[in-house]
Structure 1
Amino acid sequence: MLKDLKEFLLRGNVIDLAVGVIIANAFGAIVTSLITDVITPLFLNPILKAAKLEQISQLKWNGIAYGNFLSAVINFLVIGTVLFFIVKSAEKAQSLAKKKEEVEEAPAGPTELEVLQEIKALLAEKK
């Protein structure tokens, strides 16, 4: 049983998934910091000050606290946009690599020597 577990854990897909989860967690922290420390002060603070609030989490409408939800939506949009560009870039790189493989795999035409030998053989047949 331990052997099966070891094989499962050392399989490429599991390791790739683990690395992806760790990177996604770190990326989430970066985006949260971007929203909290950059976007909110630059763009939302004037709106918050006009509403006489200190933090986005204090936003309310008819008793409904929607500030945290708004922050989560902004995080989602930023992460979604960045991931979209990452996926598009990866797809482009894969398609370029595939095209390069196709070009390399294309059968080479006959060499000059082979063509000349064919001509010689055809001429010999006609005689």
Structure 2
Amino acid sequence: MLKEFRDFIAKGNVLDMAIGVVMASAFTSIVNSMVSDIIMPFVEAALGSTDFTSIVVKVAGITFRIGNFMQAVFTFLIISIVLFFVMKAVASLKNRFTHEEEEEEEEVDPTEALLTEIRDLLREEKQSASK
């Protein structure tokens, strides 16, 4: 049973997932800082405030804290937009590097081209000699 557990932990998928979780938690602080320190001041300048938690609705003696929900949705939307643009930038960079690698692979080695030409000439000579 210990061997099975060790094999399970050593599988690539489990390790990849663990690394992903650690990286995501580290990235969370970056995204939160970007939203609270860079994006929200612009939103506050446009809207006057970014704190909706004080908005409440009382119906039949029940207090609905709609502001808390609005704050959560607003924060989610801003984080989603920021992540969208970050992922778009990363995909663009990845495509650029992939495209450069493909161009490098497409370049023909001069030695290979010369050998191919010699082979073709020898084939032609052999075919014309056999006729």
2:128 counterpart residue number: 123
Which residue number in structure 2 is paired with residue 73 of structure 1? 77
Structure 2: give runs of 5+ residues left out of the alignment.
58-63
1:70, CA displacement in angstroms? 0.9
Q: Sequence identity of aligned pairs in percent?
A: 27
CA distance in 2, matches of 1:3, 1:93: 41
1:48 is aligned with what amino acid?
G
Q: Which residue in the other structure is 2:28 paired with?
A: 28
Q: Secondary structure at the match of 1:56?
A: coil
Q: Contact between 1:48 and 1:56, CA under 8 Å: does it hold in 2?
A: no
Instruction: Structure 1: give runs of 5+ residues left out of the alignment.
Output: 50-54
Say what the alpha-carbon RMSD is for the aligned residues. Answer: 3.2
Q: 1:58 aligns with which of 49, 53, 59?
A: 53
In the alignment, which residue of structure 2 is the partner of 1:52? Answer: none
CA distance in 2 between partners of 1:2 and 1:101 (Å): 48
Cα distance in 2, alignment partners of residues 38 and 69 from structure 1: 18
Distance 1:7 1:36 in 2: 43
Structure 2 residue matching 1:29: 3-state secondary structure: helix
Structure 1 equivalent of residue 60 of structure 2: none
Counterpart-to-counterpart distance in 2, 1:14 and 1:92? 30
* Contact 1:60–1:67 (8 Å) recurs in 2: no
Provide, for residues 43-82 of structure 1, a one-character-per-residue CA deviation record: whole Å limited to 9, x for no partner: 3145235xxxxx5243637562112321222112212321
CA contact (8 A) 1:35 1:74 kept: yes
Q: TM-score, normalised by structure 1?
A: 0.66
How far is the alpha carbon of 1:34 from its aligned partner? 1.4
